[in-house]
Structure 1
Amino acid sequence: MGSSSVVSTIVRKWRGHPPSSYSLKVDNFKQLVKFTTASSDDKYQSRLFSSGGYNWKLIVYPKGNEKDNGKDFISMYVEIDSESLISAPQREVFAELIFFVYNKKENKYLTIQDVEVKRFNALKTVWGLQQVLPFDSFNSPKNGYVFEGDQCEFGVDVIVPAPLTNWEILSFNEKLKDPKFSWRVKNFSQLEKDKYTSNTFSMGARKWILMLYPKGNIGADGKWLSLFLYLADGDKPKADEKILAQANLRVLDPLGSNHLERKLNYWHGEKTLGWGWYKFMSLTELRKSYLDKEDALNVEIEFEAVSETKYSPII
């Protein structure tokens, strides 16, 4: 039989930096205990403080919240102000809570956090920890939580994540209409320019061109055909934008039986608009088998997928 165990979400650690949301310093802890014990609800509530655009209260039970299994412990909670909930766009607020107890002996704060983000709404306005520290351990001067007579300090960080404004959605269009583009380069043997560019064509909501070097690009030694796929000049990616093109680039065999094909799988970006091969095929092989009777070279590209990314904010 397998066994299961409950994984605690409570994290305790020391920290030198004080709380940033609220601090409650008590000059006479015994008097606070006496006051809360004599009251009907056994707790002390701080004044309202603001954090993340909402108002909150820190609640401390010096001898524990018996109704929440906190008897004989220090219990600490945070309560959201009802007016803040009314003003919340979704009528609920998500927050991370980190509770602090100062220790004079260590000169640091013991922080206690339930790492699960808490959802505050009309049905649940209070979240906290019922067993922060045992009361006897906290109240013993030798442990450092009560110091210089009868002082102590509690605190809390209420961290409200800002609404999500930076995101991207990456999708891949694999159902392209007419995924092929063909380019017939006439009179290949008589071409004199260093490079030639196809007509612009659309694929996957982007505009593309093929670029061909009949005597090879730099590094091809005049013995190779160089062939590239580029994003068209009018469709350059924005800063940090990337477009993936998955395609098969081919030089077609006029007899239709031995096409030379290379697979292209490349992210095109603002500074890398094109991708291809300096040595796509040797000119010797090309002249021998890949020019048709009219001295034309037939190039074809067939796309498998083109990516699309939606961003916010738009850069």
Structure 2
Amino acid sequence: MGSSSEVVSTIVKKWREHPPSSYSLKVDSFKQLEKSTSFTDDKYQSRHFSSGGYNWKLIVYPKGNEKDNGKGFISMYIEIDSESLISAPQHEVFAELIFFVYNKKENKYLTIQDVEVKRFNALKTVWGLQQVLPFDSFNNPENGYVFEGDQCEFGVNVIVHSPLTKWEILSFNEKLQNPKFSWTVKNFSQLKEDKYTSNRFSMGAIQWVLWLYPKGDSRADGKWLSLFLLLADSKTLKVDEKILAQANLRVLHPLGSNHSEHKLNHWHEKNHMAWGWAQFLSLAELRKSYLDSEDSLTVEIEFQAVSSTKYSPII
């Protein structure tokens, strides 16, 4: 089966009433403009104007830029001032260009845009359109582009894209050293407190603890063991920051089999520091099978991955 490709034009033309906001070039005699360019490489260059913190020139070829396949057309370009490039981050500037041609008959501007953002740098200081309008169509007064004798107007909007300064790099540490943490709770049947907290442990450069409710938290009706993984320090996370923990949380069977296990795969955030289960294991089953001969309960968590994120600007 043969393959085919489709050439998609990135040139968009449309009418608009609002004039250009970056620069306008009004000419009182198009014929004189055309004659004057015979001595300036067929082009007219405007004075510098500022847009987006950089200096630019509008360049118009009234008879077309033959060197750029523009013969028989009006050609328009934008050139960045080389001094502006020196001050640009990484010595390059990205900008959208919208070219304007006023039409008196419509009392609107015809805008012509290549929707692809242009990269200006030391190797490419000029971008534009070689075929804005056919010369004969533009120069015919009946079409409205030249008016009131021989006047015309060109313009441009230069929309500069700011350098990228806000980003994040998300990583997942899946090669954790010593990925397991075990916690043995002694004399389980005699525990009086509502909640117990394990020692801190480090995983993925983050400090964690486990919370254990021997009679269940407020949602467990006194019939369940509740178990949660928690970020140890409330200052670990800032607003909009989050850390993913993928792990298996277990209550170990004393004989080494039939462990009670649940899989964690949750993002820990500022307003949600703990994840786990209010009904992790029924107390009836726990007392029947999961306490060893010394009335101890062992909890284990095994991590598969912990995320880390670098931000700019640093939050």
TM-score normalized with structure 2 length: 0.93
Q: Is the 8 A contact 1:236 1:273 kept in 2?
A: no
What are the residue-to-residue correspondences of 1:235-274 with 2, within 5 Å? 235-274=235-274
8 Å contact from structure 2 (residues 89, 163) kept in 1: no
* 1:49 aligned partner: 49
Give yes or no for contact 1:74–1:130 (8 Å, CA) kept in 2.
yes
1:34 aligns with 2:35: yes
Q: Could you tell me whether the CA contact under 8 Å between 2:94 and 2:119 is conserved in 1?
A: yes
Residue pair 1:206, 1:235 contacting (<8 A) in 2 also? no
Give the conservation status (yes or no) of the 8 Å contact 2:93–2:161.
no
Structure 1 unaligned regions, length at least 5? none
* Cα deviation, residue 128, structure 1: 1.0
Q: Secondary structure at the match of 1:285?
A: helix
For 2:3, give the aligned amino acid: G
CA distance in 1, matches of 2:41, 2:75: 13
3-state SS of paired residue (2:255): coil
1:288 matched to 2:292: no
Deviations 1:18-60 (A, max 9, x none): 3222111222223322333x43522111001122332211000
1:60-114 deviations in Å (ceiling 9; x for gaps) = 0112112211111110011122333344454443332221122334433222222
Could you tell me which runs of 5 or more consecutive residues in structure 2 were left unpaired when the two chains were aligned: none
Q: 1:138 to 1:187 in 2, by over 3 A?
A: same
Given the superposition, is the C-alpha separation of residues 183 and 16 from structure 1 closer, same or farther in structure 2, using an over 3 Å criterion?
Answer: farther
Identity %: 81
- 2:218 paired with 1:218: yes
- Which is worse superposed, 248-257 or 160-169? 160-169
Q: Secondary structure at the match of 1:147?
A: coil
Whether the 8 Å contact between 1:56 and 1:81 is mirrored in structure 2 is yes
- Match of 1:189, SS state, is helix
Partners of 2:108 and 2:306 in 1: CA distance? 55
Offset from partner CA, 1:223-254 (integer Å, 9 cap, x none): 11111111013543111001000000000000
* CA distance in structure 1 between the partners assigned to 2:86 and 2:271 by the alignment: 49
Q: Aligned letter for 1:29?
A: F
Amino acid at match of 2:200: T
CA distance in structure 2 between the aligned counterparts of 1:115 and 1:165, rounded to whole angstroms? 23
Give 1:201 deviation, angstroms.
0.9
Structure 1 range deviating more: 137-146 or 196-205: 137-146
Partner residue, 2:20:
19
Aligned-partner residue type, residue 185 of structure 2: V
